Amino acid sequence: MQLGYSYKLKPSQRQQAVMNRWLDMLRAQYNYLLRDRNDSYDQAKAPRLGNYCDFKSGGEACPLTCSVSKNHSVGYPWKKSQKNPRRNAYEAQSSNLPILKKERPWYKSIHSTVLQQTLRQLDVAFAKFFKGETGYPKPKRRSRFRSFKYAPGQVKLNGNKIYLPGIGWIGFHNSRPIPDGFALKSVTVRRKARGWFASLQIEDKSVPPAPVKNNTEIDPLKVCGCDLGINKLVSLSNGKTIANPAKQKAFRRRERRLKLRQKTASRKRKGSSNRKKSYSKVASLHERITNNRSAYHWDVANQLVDGADALVFEDLNIKGMKSRCKPKPNEKGGYDRNGQSAKRGLNRSISNAAWGELVKKVEVVAAKSGIPVVKINPKYTSQKCPKCHHISKSNRKKEKFVCTECGYHDDADVNGAVNIKLRGLKKLGIDPTQLPPVRGKVTPTEITVS
Ligand SMILES: [Zn+2]
């Protein structure tokens, strides 16, 4: 089993200076390697060479000149293997590393596995791009390049101290003891607004990952449909609800404080150290809000997984939900109100709820106990009657769901969750007719999360 534990470091001034210098050099190297891939791609698609690889189809017209996935101008392109003699970009750039180190002797001060991991970082960025998960890798600014990584077997731990090769022994806040039997794997050091942090990947090979339950082991009564929302963060198919912390006073207060700090910072003279200080305060508050939210999400995730056999979520298109309203041009050559200013508030609420992050955490917690997490198409889940399957917009009246055909009624969010559950059961291959008849009237009860 693999786990990730994160600790706050207590580096000395000298150690901080070293880590900051490393980050600058590693960023230069990352951007240099990206430039190399871009340049070689541009050269390969020069018209005299004819075809080049096609982004959309992923087809390679000419393997010798095709680029980005394979191309690079630094490094030696061939290896001994008979089957696949051409090095990929990562391997070739890696073969260039000793030459680069000679050209830039200052790179010697960086630990070798850290330097190597930067190549891997770029390769991962490209792999994600080719899978369609992210955009094309961009050169990184200082504010976007904040971490470096050690390969497994380099870092040592001793009590409240951690040994980072090239930097030395650093004390850390041992907020959470590493469980017995776990060995240290890779370690990532990260610069954040509130200090330096180390994320440790730890692994215990003797504990196999929990097997995921199959549909014969799942009790349909213990399958839980989860409707994500804003007024209530989660509404469950069993009638329980979980509050949204973004609707609470403490969060509102922090939002107000953030706004004030942003305003103060933006009024400081550009390039001044006061502006810098002000913005670091903004960043620090941002980080606190994120930390609080993430702690709450972990609590919610544990609550949801506890006692469930399977969890069903909607597969939401959050980006689409946050899209802007279409402009409404009028005859006078101007624009009519299109409701964007109201939509802005909703968009912010969607961002603050951070549903995607919550679902990711639920998946992590569920995987530990082998509970499947199913995602279903959310279409009509709020308009469908679970009893007679009648679909109509007029079924839903704000907080209430009343079927215009059969008169079945329920809380609107809970009804959505019931529909989500039914769809999830179908996807899991369980017959929902085994269930007792759908619940009648229900009064939502709130689960309290610490
Ligand atoms: Zn009905």
Check residue 340 and give its pLDDT: 85
**Ligand 1 centre distance from Cα of residue 442 (Å):** 16
Check residue 408 and give its pLDDT: 84
Task: For residues 394 and 387, give the distance between their C-alpha atoms in angstroms, rounded to a whole number.
Answer: 16
Task: Kindly list the protein residues that place their beta carbon closer than 5 angstroms to ligand 1, a single-atom ion.
Answer: 385, 387-388, 390, 403, 405-406, 408
**Ligand 1 centre distance from Cα of residue 421 (Å):** 17
**Ligand 1 centre distance from Cα of residue 392 (Å):** 10
Phi first, then psi: give them for residue 188, nearest 5 degrees. -110, 130
Sign of CA dihedral 320, 322, 328, 329: negative
Four-CA torsion 226, 227, 232, 235, nearest 10 degrees:
-50
**Ligand 1 centre distance from Cα of residue 402 (Å):** 8
CB distance 236 to 308 below 8 Å: no
CA 440 to chain centroid, in Å, comes to: 38
Greatest Cα pair distance, the chain, in angstroms, is 79
**Ligand 1 centre distance from Cα of residue 327 (Å):** 38
**Ligand 1 centre distance from Cα of residue 231 (Å):** 25
**Ligand 1 centre distance from Cα of residue 438 (Å):** 11
Check residue 68 and give its pLDDT: 46
Closest CA to 151 of 190, 120, 126, 124: 120
**Ligand 1 centre distance from Cα of residue 395 (Å):** 9
Q: What is the pTM of this model?
A: 0.81
Q: What are the mean pLDDT values of the chain's consecutive 10-residue runs (450 residues total)?
A: 91 96 95 87 57 50 47 72 76 87 91 93 89 89 93 91 95 90 92 94 84 83 90 89 88 92 95 94 93 93 91 87 84 85 85 89 91 91 86 86 85 89 88 60 58
Triad 90, 92, 95: Cα angle to 5°: 110
Q: Look at the block and give the residue holding tokens 């980050």.
A: 23
* Residue 3: burial class (beta carbons within 10 Å; 0-12, 13-18, 19+): middle
**Ligand 1 centre distance from Cα of residue 345 (Å):** 34
